[in-house]
């Protein structure tokens, strides 16, 4: 258990709900020496925000939930919390708390909610083996590995080209987004200008309404005067006998008032026409404001759509970058395995040259099998032809009489070999660890 008293936060969340790409473990060794401290290096990407209860645990390969940790250390909070920066961190596990067996383990970064945010490649706690590893392989298998390497290189190049294309599309979308933002700012300026003009026209319209109200008041006053003049006219007519001398003067005043009334009616008609024109202008401005509002709404919708497309493209680019890194790691592993196979084949040839009896046995039928040690699964007739003069086991010191049945001799030779149930590749019985590692590789596929 860890030296800290508090237990780390865990959960029963399954692997499908975890995000293993938010924390990347670096410089992970294939083997760690027992009895020594282990330093774990990892990188916090911008997709994770570290918190106080985050921790790094050592898990045995095959774990299902974060409750199955072997030991853990609290993850230190970085000195800078800039979301755009890539943060390099490390924790050290003391040797006393590390596993003592030869099982495979891996580092896992777990947040304070108990969810895994990153996992390392498997490793073991024992000294790295120095013995040569003997692997029997054919030229066809080597050519197949080389062809796989070529295919991976071609796929790697295609992924690079696809990444460049996505980066160009992202730049084009960002440029379109920038132009749309500039156009939106321009439209906003136009809307503000039109709103200001609308306010000015509304103010002028209100002023015209006030003036029209004053004209209507004047007109009512004139009508009242006309009514009063009518009353006075009646009074004058009733006193026509004794006011006959002033009738002409009153008639002239009456005509003058009529003319003034006519002028006032004409002015009222002009004011009505101006008021109607101002109402039409106000309606036109309201219609333009409505059209600009619709255009602004359409532009905002287009901007939102462009932003969503940019986010989708950014996410797709990150996924392809992650896939590219995985393929690159697989390619490097295949290159290393290919180099090891070539080296092991050379070592095997040197060892065969030091065994005269076995070399003569291997040279019995090279054209038929294409294998260094011959084909132990050949038919009885072929085995009889190849081993008629040699009844010594190529894998041990056992010897057999020349008249022994070929089936018994073949069964003895095959008892020294371990055959892979997946690809039928054979291994020496003394290299059982290599055979088990080979089977484990098939399990990981």
- Count CB-CB contacts under 10 A for residue 75: 27
Give buried/exposed letters for 414-424 (b at 16+ CB in 10 A, else e): eebbbeeeeee
293/283 Cα distance (integer angstroms):
15
> What is the pLDDT, as a whole number, of residue 66?
92
Segment 182-214, tens digit of pLDDT: 888 888 888 888 888 878 888 888 888 888 888
Question: 301 and 187, same structural domain?
Answer: yes
More confident site: 232 or 91: 91
More confident site: 259 or 21: 259
Q: Are 32 and 128 in contact (CB under 8 A)?
A: no
Q: Does residue 81 carry a pLDDT above 70?
A: no
Q: Which of 56-65, 75-84, 91-100, 280-289 has the lowest mean pLDDT?
A: 75-84
Question: 416 and 317, same structural domain?
Answer: no
Three-state DSSP state, 124 = strand
> What is the pLDDT, as a whole number, of residue 386?
44
Host H or E run for residue 364:
none
Q: What are phi and psi of 88, to 5 degrees?
A: -95, 130
pLDDT band at 129 (very low <50, low <70, confident <90, very high): low
What's the mean pLDDT when you consider all of the chain?
80
Distance separating the N- and C-terminal Cα atoms of the chain: 32
Q: Are 321 and 170 in contact (CB under 8 A)?
A: no
Nearest CA to 412 out of 425, 427, 397 is that of 397
Question: 190 and 109, same structural domain?
Answer: no
Q: Specify which residues 386 forms β-bridges with.
A: none
Structural domain including 46 reads 15-119
26/32 Cα distance (integer angstroms):
15
Q: Which token pair is 136?
A: 């029997």
Q: What is the DSSP letter of 426?
A: E
Chain centroid to CA 440: how far? 31
Question: 365 and 314, same structural domain?
Answer: no
> What is the pLDDT, as a whole number, of residue 23?
94
419/373 Cα distance (integer angstroms):
15
Which CATH number is 311's domain given? 1.10.287
Question: 299 and 359, same structural domain?
Answer: no
Per-residue pLDDT averaged across 110-115, rounded?
A: 92
Segment 395-438, tens digit of pLDDT: 787 777 877 878 888 888 888 888 888 888 888 777 778 888 88
Question: 372 and 318, same structural domain?
Answer: no
Which domain-ending residue is among 328, 347, 364? 328
Q: Are 270 and 264 in contact (CB under 8 A)?
A: no
Question: 283 and 213, same structural domain?
Answer: yes
Q: Are 365 and 385 in contact (CB under 8 A)?
A: yes
Integer CA distances (angstroms), 254 to 228, 257, 260, 385, in order: 12, 5, 10, 153
Segment 169-185, tens digit of pLDDT: 878 887 887 888 788 88
Number of domains in the chain: 3
Q: Does residue 168 carry a pLDDT above 90?
A: no
352/119 Cα distance (integer angstroms):
43
* 153 assigned to some structural domain: no
284/141 Cα distance (integer angstroms):
83
> What is the pLDDT, as a whole number, of residue 3?
43
pLDDT band at 103 (very low <50, low <70, confident <90, very high): very high
Q: What are phi and psi of 41, to 5 degrees?
A: -110, 135
Which domain-ending residue is among 83, 103, 119? 119
> What is the pLDDT, as a whole number, of residue 83?
53
> What is the pLDDT, as a whole number, of residue 363?
40
Give buried/exposed letters for 2-21 (b at 16+ CB in 10 A, else e): beeeeebbbeebeeeebebb
* 125 assigned to some structural domain: no
pTM of the model: 0.32
Q: Which token pair is 286?
A: 């309201």
418/130 Cα distance (integer angstroms):
22
Which domain-ending residue is among 328, 345, 376? 328
Question: 222 and 317, same structural domain?
Answer: yes
Three-state DSSP state, 417 = strand
* 247 assigned to some structural domain: yes
Q: Are 324 and 152 in contact (CB under 8 A)?
A: no
More confident site: 243 or 315: 315
Torsion on CA atoms 190, 194, 197, 203, rounded to nearest 10: -150
List, as one string, the DSSP characters of 59-119: EETT--SGGGEEEEEEPPPPS---TTSPEEEEEEE-GGGS--SS--EEEEEE-TTS-EEEE
Question: 359 and 321, same structural domain?
Answer: no
Q: Which token pair is 430?
A: 């003394």
pLDDT band at 10 (very low <50, low <70, confident <90, very high): confident
* 309 assigned to some structural domain: yes
Question: 366 and 265, same structural domain?
Answer: no
Nearest CA to 139 out of 319, 371, 384 is that of 371
Question: 297 and 415, same structural domain?
Answer: no
């Amino acid at each position: 258990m860890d030296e800290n008293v508090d237990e780390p936060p865990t959960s029963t969340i399954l692997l499908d709900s975890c995000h293993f790409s938010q924390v990347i473990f670096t410089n992970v060794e294939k083997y760690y020496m027992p009895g020594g401290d282990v330093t774990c290096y990892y990188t916090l990407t911008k997709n994770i925000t570290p918190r106080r209860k985050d921790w790094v645990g050592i898990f045995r390969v095959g774990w299902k939930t974060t409750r199955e940790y072997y030991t853990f250390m609290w993850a230190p909070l970085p000195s800078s919390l800039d979301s755009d920066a890539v943060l390099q961190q490390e924790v050290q596990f003391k040797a006393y708390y590390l596993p003592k067996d030869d099982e495979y383990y891996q580092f896992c970064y777990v947040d304070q909610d108990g969810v895994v945010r990153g996992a390392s490649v498997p490793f073991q706690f024992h000294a790295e083996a120095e013995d040569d590893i003997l692997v029997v392989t054919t030229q066809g298998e080597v050519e197949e590995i080389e062809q796989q390497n070529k295919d991976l290189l071609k796929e790697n190049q295609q992924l690079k080209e696809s990444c460049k294309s996505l980066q160009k599309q992202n730049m084009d979308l960002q440029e379109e987004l920038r132009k749309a933002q500039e156009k939106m700012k321009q439209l906003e300026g136009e809307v503000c200008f039109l709103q200001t003009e609308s306010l000015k026209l509304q103010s002028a319209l209100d002023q015209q309404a006030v003036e029209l109200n004053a004209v209507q008041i004047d007109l009512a006053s004139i009508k009242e005067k006309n009514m009063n003049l009518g009353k006075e006219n009646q009074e004058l007519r009733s006193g026509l006998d004794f006011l006959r001398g002033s009738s002409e003067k009153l008639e002239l005043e009456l005509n003058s008032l009529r003319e003034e009334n006519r002028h006032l009616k004409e002015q009222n008609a002009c004011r009505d026409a101006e008021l109607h024109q101002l109402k039409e202008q106000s309606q036109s401005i309201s219609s333009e404001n409505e059209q600009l509002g619709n255009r602004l709404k359409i532009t905002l919708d287009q901007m939102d759509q462009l932003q969503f497309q940019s986010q989708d493209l950014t996410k797709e680019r990150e996924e392809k970058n992650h896939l590219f890194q995985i393929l690159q790691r697989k390619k490097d592993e295949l290159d290393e395995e290919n180099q090891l196979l070539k080296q092991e084949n050379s070592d095997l040839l040197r060892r065969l040259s030091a065994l005269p009896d076995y070399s003569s046995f291997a040279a019995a039928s090279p054209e038929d099998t294409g294998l260094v040690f011959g084909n132990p699964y050949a038919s009885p007739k072929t085995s009889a032809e190849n081993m008629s003069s040699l009844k010594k086991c190529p894998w041990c010191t056992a010897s057999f009489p020349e008249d022994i049945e070929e089936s018994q001799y073949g069964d003895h030779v095959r008892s020294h070999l371990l055959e892979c149930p997946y690809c039928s590749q054979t291994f020496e019985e003394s290299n059982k660890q290599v055979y088990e590692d080979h089977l484990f590789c098939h399990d990981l596929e």
